[in-house]
Structure 1
């Protein structure tokens, strides 16, 4: 019998939500996406030791010093990891801009250009690289500039229709609406232990965005992310892309029941119409959405904390302690 994972691959591009090279090789997704949290977990294993050593040597060479900035080493590590991941996937890899730059448009643009240049220095086809940016107003406007320069952007930490509309208007390549984190917020607010996937607010958010994009002809790719259970994935079968953890990929691969396609462009003609927003309108509508405001801020804090921890670990390597 055909597994639900195989069935899903016929309707949706499956992306691996992991930075673990062994998991990527095992599940053979088309694309892979990473963030500081995933990279921090990955470098704790011996499998990435050689990449840390290479990143340190590369940063030392670039800075012409034995004690380069841990931020620079982190950028080199992210690019080396991305380059290695691209050897195992036929599609693209996303590399994230430091979350601490989420409210600085110009610094985000500069860091994205820097990461892209590092990939070029390693001989990587940058058409296979997406730069991952938090979907703040500043991040979205940075993506607007970068897309015009030919740098593809993945707008992450997306929790609201407001953010999705602004991303479409900016012409970003891809958005990553976070399904599970939306569910987490509503469960915490209501005290419920669970919500049926058909009524899951995270699932409904992605369905609304998908229908809006398809009905208005926006080319921006919708990639559902941050899943808490298999049912959420099944109710988004047919979405452009879904980035899925190894644990849930395993569950889908063991399930041989029939998987029904839930989303198709042909069924998206009921979506509402919304005008483009300026900064004032964006900030107001986002402020009015308590869930999106809370989760966006929380996500930035979490990614920033993991980035700081990653840099602290790398600082130990710089100082000669090779046990990050």
Structure 2
């Protein structure tokens, strides 16, 4: 804790646990180990940056042989989060803007230099409330973001996430990266490819022409971006992000309470 005089002990213990988990998973990966910052700081650039930098320091302390260049820091896709991503990328720390559902977020992510965006097809809530259904899935944002990045030779890549069926997985065929749960992987494994009758790669239909019409005017100035984001899909994009942050924060609190029960 002497290295982090302004940090909370419980928070640092949670971070150390996350780093240890990432280290255990690393031998099974060919790419990055992902660590998400404390969601309670989603609207605080300074604290998010401190959190991300602590991850790197903790990783070096726990295992000096671990290549910290293999860490990717996941940060909720708020304006403050993007500012943190911008600074981290300048420092050589890879970032992923998570809980992206709108083109406003996708455009700002590339402008900030994010290595990845985590594009949520379904709201995060669908994984915690079995009766909830996202009726405004983010397929268009997912496909259009990748097409936009490619046509403009931008380095940001798309990670499709929050999927609920193998039909959604197949619709995303051709996406840069995809997060598929163990249950869906098992279902895919049991499904013959030669008899598949659903759509394959349909998220990229018509995205070439749409990419040319995307308005980039709201990403340079904070107030303009916030207004555009708050109005997107009648306010649903912002509501989805805020709900994801709420759910993330509840899980963070659960982890911190678990730590408190031991100390």
Task: Spell out the pairing of 1:4-153 with structure 2 (5 A cutoff).
Answer: 69-121=9-61, 122=63, 123-153=65-95
Match of 1:301 in 2: 246
Residue ranges of structure 2 left out of the alignment (5+ in a row): 127-131
> SS in structure 2 opposite 1:244?
coil
Structure 2 counterpart SS, 1:201: coil
Give me the whole-angstrom Cα distance separating, in 2, the residues matched to 1:145 and 1:82. Answer: 23
TM-score between the two structures when normalised by the length of structure 2: 0.85
Equivalent residues in 2 for 1:134-213, closer than 5 Å: 134-181=76-123, 201-213=137-149
Checking the alignment, whether the CA contact within 8 Å between 1:93 and 1:128 is kept in structure 2 is: yes
Residues 1:167 and 1:62: Cα distance change in structure 2 (over 3 Å) = closer
1:285 to 225, 228, 231: 228
Structure 1 segments unaligned to the other structure (5+ residues): 1-58, 185-191, 319-324
1:265-309: CA deviation from partner (whole Å, max 9, x where unpaired): xx7465124324311111001110211111111111111111011
Confirm whether residue 236 of structure 1 aligns to residue 172 of structure 2: yes
Which gives a bigger RCO, structure 1 or 2 (Cα 8 Å, sep 6+)?
A: 1
Residue deviations 1:31-76 (CA, integer Å, cap 9, x gap)? xxxxxxxxxxxxxxxxxxxxxxxxxxxx7x989xxxx822111011
CA spacing shift, 1:238–1:129, aligned 2, 3 Å? same
- Give the C-alpha shift of residue 204 in structure 1: 2.0
Q: How many residues align?
A: 245
What TM-score do you get using the length of structure 1 for normalisation? Answer: 0.69
2:138 and 2:227 mapped to 1: Cα distance?
21
Contact kept in structure 2, 1:183 and 1:201, CA below 8 Å: no
The answer (yes or no) to whether the contact 1:236–1:263 under 8 Å persists in 2 is: yes
Q: For 1:218, what is the secondary structure of its paired residue? A: coil
| CA–CA separation in structure 2 for the residues paired with 1:92 and 1:111 | 18
CA pair 182-91 structure 1, distance change in 2 beyond 3 A: closer
Please say if residues 102 and 139 of structure 1, whose CA atoms lie closer than 8 Å, have aligned partners that are also in contact: yes
* C-alpha separation in 1, matches of 2:223 and 2:133: 37
Q: 1:171-215: CA deviations, max 9, x gaps? A: 10000010011896xxxxxxx9797xxxx7322221121221111
Quote how far apart the aligned CAs of 1:233 are. Answer: 1.0
Query: Contact 2:122–2:137 (CA<8 Å) still a contact in 1?
Result: no
1:45 is matched with none
